[in-house]
Amino acid sequence: MSEVEEVMQTHSWIWPEPYEIIFGTMASGLIFGLLIKFVVPLAKKALTARTVSIQAELDSGANDLASAEQEAQDIRQAIGDIASERARILAETNVQAEALLRDGRARLAQELVEIQERGQSEIVSIGLRVSDELRAEISRLSGAAIDQVVRTSLTDATQQELIENFISKVGASR
Amino acid sequence: MSDNRIEGYARALFEIARAEGSLDEVEDELFRLARTLESNDALRNALTDEKIPVARRQGIVEDLLGGKVTGTSVQLVSMVVGSGRGRDLPAIIDKLVKRASSAKQLEVAQVRSAVALTADQQTRLAAALANATGKEVNLKVVVDPSVIGGIVATVGDTVIDGSIRTRLDNVKSRL
């Protein structure tokens, strides 16, 4: 066996060298010690914080649930109110519609009476106007006929007679 | 046109006619011209239309009156029309006639008749009106066919109406 082979060959195929066991055991203890001293408190602290956070979330969820239930209650209440309001509005609308209908009928009846009266009045007025126009037209035609008759009957002798009569009448007056 | 201006023109015409010694003829001629102007829209428009040159309007006056009335009348009317007062010519002439009558201490009696009156009728009518109104009158006769028959005499504010026109109007109003 050469010198190199002699150095690389251990005394047991499973156990390390004694000094390795010693130093390994010491290093492991040191690492575990450090872990216990520094990491375990941090882990505890993190777990505590996580617990608080989860508890807060649980509380918040409970609050949200209570709020949701309250809102659901309010909504149910509002639905009930809306239904009653709708019923009230419908009832009022019915009353108003009946009143409007009644007023409308009354007004229509009144307007009908007024229209009839106005119609009667206009018929009378038109009758009077037509009568007046007819009378005026007859008068105009009569006047024109009289004018024509008088003008054609006024001879020179008649004109002179009218003038002489005027002079005599004026001369006699004082 | 204001009354003062009309009065001023009338006074001027009166003085010129009197100075010319033809007041009676002038006032009589102008009176008849005034009545013609009142009844003739076309003539009145021709003498008052400012779009027609003054010379043309004066030419119309001379054509219309030349040879039919005294030269003084033509010149006086031409003067009034030339000064742009043609619209007021009837009013100026009426003032002139009134002034001429006042100068003679007469009241103007405007007589409208359907036919012309003879000189004898005018004399008797003037006497009758003087008798009826108590004033001596300066008779101005206007032939107005619208009277139809008879006479309408106006002396100052007094109207004596013996016309067929008025009688017919009364009959028509009763109808």
Model pLDDT for residues A15-46, shown as the tens digit of each residue: 888 888 899 999 999 999 999 999 999 999 99
Q: Are strands B107-113 and B137-143 parallel, antiparallel or unpaired?
A: parallel
Q: How many CB pairs under 8 A join A and B?
A: 73
Q: Please, which residues have CB within 8 angstroms of residue B150's CB and are 6 or more apart in sequence?
A: A162, A163, A165, A166, B113, B114, B162, B163, B164, B165
pLDDT digits (tens, 9 = 90+) for B116-165: 999 999 999 999 999 988 889 999 998 888 889 999 999 988 899 999 98
**How many whole angstroms separate alpha carbon B31 and alpha carbon B98?**
10
Mean pLDDT over A106-117 rounds to 95
pLDDT digits (tens, 9 = 90+) for B26-60: 988 999 899 888 888 888 888 888 888 989 999 99
Q: Please give, rounded to a whole number of angstroms, the shortest distance from the CA of A109 to a CA of chain B.
A: 46
Q: Enumerate the residues of chain A whose CB falls inside 8 A of the CB of residue B175.
A: 138-139, 142-143
For chain A, which residues make up each domain, given as ranges?
16-123
**How many whole angstroms separate alpha carbon A111 and alpha carbon A120?**
14
CATH top-level class of B3-101: mainly alpha
Chain A residues with at least one Cβ partner in B under 8 Å: 138-139, 142-143, 146-147, 150-151, 154, 156, 158-160, 162-171, 173-174
Mean pLDDT over A42-54 rounds to 94
pLDDT range class, residue B171, cuts 50, 70, 90: confident
pLDDT range class, residue A2, cuts 50, 70, 90: low
Contact state of B132 with A171 under an 8 Å Cβ cutoff: yes
Identify the residue whose tokens are 């004026």: A170
**How many whole angstroms separate alpha carbon B150 and alpha carbon A170?**
12
Q: Answer yes or no: is pLDDT of A8 > 70.
A: no
Q: Please, which residues have CB within 8 angstroms of residue A18's CB and are 6 or more apart in sequence?
A: none
**How many whole angstroms separate alpha carbon B166 and alpha carbon B159?**
12
Please answer whether residues B129 and B155 qualify as being in contact, where contact means their C-beta atoms are separated by less than 8 angstroms.
Answer: yes
Question: Would you call B140 helix, strand, or coil by DSSP?
Answer: strand
When CB atoms are compared, the residue of B125, B128, B150 closest to A162 is B150
Whether the predicted interface score ipTM is above 0.95: no
Alpha-carbon dihedral sign for residues B92, B98, B103, B108: positive
Token output for B139: 């008779």
Identify the residue whose tokens are 């309007």: B57
pLDDT of residue A5: 62
